[in-house]
Copies of this chain bind each other. A is one copy, B any other.
Amino acid sequence: MSIPNQAFNKILLKVSSPQNLKELSLEQLETLSSELREAIILNLSKTGGHLASNLGMIETTIALHYVFNSPTDKLIFDVGHQCYAHKLLTGRQNSFNTLRQYKGLSGFINPNESVHDAFLAGHSSTSISLGLGMSIARDILNEDHNIVIIIGDGGLTGGMALEALNHLGHIQKNVLIILNDNEMSISNNIGGIYHYMKRLKETFFYKDIKDKINLIETNLSVNHLNPNVLNLIHNVKEQASQRFETPGIVFEKLGINYYGPTDGHNLQAIIRELENIKDIKKPKLLHLITQKGKGFAPAEADAIKYHGVSSSFLNNLDSSKTDKIEPDYKPKTSTYSDIFAQTLIELAQIEPNMVALTPATAEGSGLVKFGNLYPKRFFDVAICEQHAVTCAAGMAKAGLKPIVSIYSTFLQRAIDQIIHDVAILNLNVLFCIDRAGLVEDGETHQGAFDISLLRTIPNLKILAPKDANELKDMIYTALASKQINGPIAIRYPRDKAYNFTTNSNNHEFKLIDFTKWEYLHKAKNHKVVVLATGSMIEQLEPGFKTNSHLTNYASLVNARCLKPLDHNLLKLLLNDHNIQTIVTVEEGALSGGFGSSVLEWYHNQENEIETYTANLPVKTRINFPRIVNIGLKDTFIEHGQRSILLDQNGLNSHKLIKRIEQLILSSFTKTPNSVEFLSQV
Give A residues with C-beta under 8 Å from B. Answer: 74, 111-112, 118-120, 122-123, 126, 129-134, 136-138, 140-141, 157-171, 190-196, 199, 205, 208-209, 212-213, 215-216, 219-220, 223, 225-226, 228-229, 232-233, 235-236, 239-240, 243-244, 249-250, 253-256, 353, 355, 376-377, 379, 381-382, 384, 386-387, 390-400, 402, 410, 412-413, 415-417, 419-421, 423-425, 443-444, 449, 452-453, 455-459, 589-593, 595-597, 599-600, 603-604, 609, 612-613, 615, 618, 621-622, 624, 626-629, 634-636, 662, 665-666, 669-670, 674
A-B contact pairs, 21 of them (CB 8 A): A112-B425, A119-B393, A129-B421, A136-B355, A141-B353, A158-B159, A164-B384, A167-B191, A168-B192, A199-B253, A212-B236, A213-B236, A216-B236, A412-B419, A415-B453, A592-B596, A596-B599, A613-B666, A618-B670, A621-B622, A624-B624
- The docked-state distance in angstroms from the alpha carbon of A416 to that of B417 is 13
Could you say which residues of chain B place their CB within 8 Å of the CB of A140?
Answer: 353, 355, 376-377, 400
- The docked-state distance in angstroms from the alpha carbon of A95 to that of B220 is 71
Q: A391 and B129 in contact (CB under 8 A), knowing A120-B424, A159-B386?
A: yes
Please give the distance in Å from A585's CB to the nearest CB on chain B: 13
Whether A136 contacts B205 by the Cβ 8 Å rule is no
Could you say which residues of chain B place their CB within 8 Å of the CB of A137?
Answer: 394-395, 397-400
Given contacts A591-B597, A621-B622, 13 further A-B contacts (CB under 8 A): A119-B394, A129-B391, A129-B394, A130-B391, A133-B392, A163-B382, A213-B236, A219-B225, A220-B220, A419-B449, A458-B636, A459-B636, A612-B669
> How many copies are assembled?
2
Please give the distance in Å from A108's CB to the nearest CB on chain B: 11
Whether A196 contacts B253 by the Cβ 8 Å rule is yes
Which of B226, B254, B420, B613 is close to A669, meaning CB atoms less than 8 Å apart? B613
Please give the distance in Å from A484's CB to the nearest CB on chain B: 18
- The docked-state distance in angstroms from the alpha carbon of A390 to that of B412 is 14
Please give the distance in Å from A611's CB to the nearest CB on chain B: 9
Whether B133 contacts A391 by the Cβ 8 Å rule is yes
Which of B130, B381, B666 is close to A612, meaning CB atoms less than 8 Å apart? B666
Whether B417 contacts A415 by the Cβ 8 Å rule is no
Whether B212 contacts A220 by the Cβ 8 Å rule is no
Whether A629 contacts B612 by the Cβ 8 Å rule is no
Q: A384 and B167 in contact (CB under 8 A), knowing A136-B395, A591-B455, A618-B622?
A: yes
Please give the distance in Å from A413's CB to the nearest CB on chain B: 4
Could you say which residues of chain B place their CB within 8 Å of the CB of A597?
Answer: 591-592, 596
Could you say which residues of chain B place their CB within 8 Å of the CB of A392?
Answer: 133
- The docked-state distance in angstroms from the alpha carbon of A616 to that of B191 is 65
- The docked-state distance in angstroms from the alpha carbon of A118 to that of B421 is 12
Which residue of chain B lies nearest to A413 when distances are taken between CB atoms in the complex?
A: B416
Please give the distance in Å from A228's CB to the nearest CB on chain B: 7
Whether B417 contacts A126 by the Cβ 8 Å rule is yes
Which residue of chain B lies nearest to A74 when distances are taken between CB atoms in the complex?
A: B398
Whether A621 contacts B382 by the Cβ 8 Å rule is no
Q: A209 and B239 in contact (CB under 8 A), knowing A196-B254, A400-B141?
A: yes
- The docked-state distance in angstroms from the alpha carbon of A139 to that of B203 is 33
Which residue of chain B lies nearest to A600 when distances are taken between CB atoms in the complex?
A: B596
Interface centre among A122, A167, A424 (most CB of B within 10 A): A167
Which residue of chain B lies nearest to A168 when distances are taken between CB atoms in the complex?
A: B192
Q: A159 and B163 in contact (CB under 8 A), knowing A249-B253, A387-B129, A666-B613?
A: yes
Whether B420 contacts A123 by the Cβ 8 Å rule is yes
Whether A449 contacts B443 by the Cβ 8 Å rule is no
Interface centre among A111, A255, A674 (most CB of B within 10 A): A255
Whether A136 contacts B596 by the Cβ 8 Å rule is no
Could you say which residues of chain B place their CB within 8 Å of the CB of A205?
Answer: 239, 243
Could you say which residues of chain B place their CB within 8 Å of the CB of A249?
Answer: 249-250, 253
Whether A600 contacts B590 by the Cβ 8 Å rule is yes
Q: A170 and B190 in contact (CB under 8 A), knowing A453-B456, A593-B456, A669-B612?
A: yes
Could you say which residues of chain B place their CB within 8 Å of the CB of A165?
Answer: 192
Could you say which residues of chain B place their CB within 8 Å of the CB of A161?
Answer: 159
Which of B194, B417, B603, B669 is close to A629, meaning CB atoms less than 8 Å apart? B603
Could you say which residues of chain B place their CB within 8 Å of the CB of A212?
Answer: 232, 235-236
Which of B157, B233, B417, B423 is close to A166, meaning CB atoms less than 8 Å apart? B157
Whether A458 contacts B635 by the Cβ 8 Å rule is yes
Could you say which residues of chain B place their CB within 8 Å of the CB of A444?
Answer: 420, 424
Could you say which residues of chain B place their CB within 8 Å of the CB of A129?
Answer: 386-387, 390-391, 393-394, 417, 421
